[in-house]
Amino acid sequence: MKSKQYRRIEDYNIPVLKKRFNKMYQSYFDKDYGEAINYARSLIETTCKLCYNEIKGEEIEGDREFLNLNQMLNKTIELLKKEITSEEVTKILEYQLDMIVKSCNQVGKIRNRTSVSHGSIHESEDIQADETKFIMLISENMCTFLVDLLHTKTHSQKKGAIGSILDTEDLTEYGNEYVDEEKKVRYTTIGEIINSITLTFDNIDIDVDQEFISDHVRDYVEDDAEIVGIKDISNYKMRSDKKDINYSVRYTDFTEYVHVYINKEIKPIQ
């Protein structure tokens, strides 16, 4: 996967978005500009629905609720804007987002004036290639921005931590597990995302070397993670409020070595 700062929407390889992205460009290349506008709007709507569902675990449009494009964008941006950490950038984006929302709303109005959107009973309006490409770029940039923020919110940006994308270079692969033989760290992944980590320490005493082990555990969780529940010194829970992640940490003493298991806990379905 490309470095985040160079990604386009298709680089995220999200099938439902990639399908609309490809159809948007295919319509453009086929000179079916009205249909390209349709897919530009559909791409924004689908991105909003995806982001909202990923964060909240529910549909953006509740039962008997219909949201227009403006409402979808505002509702989605409200969930994601906390990922913007700079106060100055936030102020700029508050202005820019208002412009973007208005621009994207115009996409819907343009679509509604093209012949492919409504039957010939409605007055239609032609749209040219350069105008279509402009609208497509607005749609693509908006969607990439939203998915970038979603990625930041749902994935750790800390290298090697649970929830981050695993860099598999110099690691030995065993199915869905990767091992750093030198550091004696085993990563279990779901796709390319680290889901659990096993650390191995030789010749240590978990009673004496508790602080030593704890310091190593912190290398693989979010920096703001704190212990929130202790069953005993070898079994406790941690939590990152920033990323809304709960971890379980457990030690197993095999006399000659100790395994430390760090797992991301699955949230119960509400």
Q: In what order do the strands lie in the sheet with 235-240?
A: 172-174, 177-180, 185-190, 193-202, 257-264, 245-253, 235-240, 226-232
Residue bearing the bigger pLDDT, 216 or 128:
216
Give the count of alpha carbons within 13 A of 121, CB side only: 2
User: In this model, does residue 162 exceed pLDDT 90?
Assistant: yes
The model's confidence at residue 106, banded by pLDDT at 50, 70 and 90, is low
pLDDT at position 1: 45
SS3 197: strand
Tell me the per-residue pLDDT of 140-154, one tens digit each, with 9 for 90 and over: 988 898 888 888 887
Q: Which residues pair with 186 in a beta bridge?
A: 179, 198
Question: For 211-246, how does the pLDDT look when each residue is reduced to its tens digit (9 = 90+)?
Answer: 899 999 999 999 999 999 888 888 999 999 888 889
Average pLDDT over the chain reads: 82
- The full set of domain ranges for the chain reads 4-154, 172-264
Mean pLDDT for 117-144 is 75
Higher pLDDT, 86 or 54: 54
**Residue 164: HSE in the Cβ half-sphere, 13 Å Cα cutoff:** 17
Mean pLDDT of 76-96: 72
Q: For 186-198, give one letter per residue: b (16+ CB within 10 A) or e.
A: bbbbeeebbbbbb
**Percentage of the chain lying above the pLDDT 70 cut:** 80
pTM of the model: 0.65
What CATH architecture applies to the domain 4-154?
Up-down Bundle (1.20)
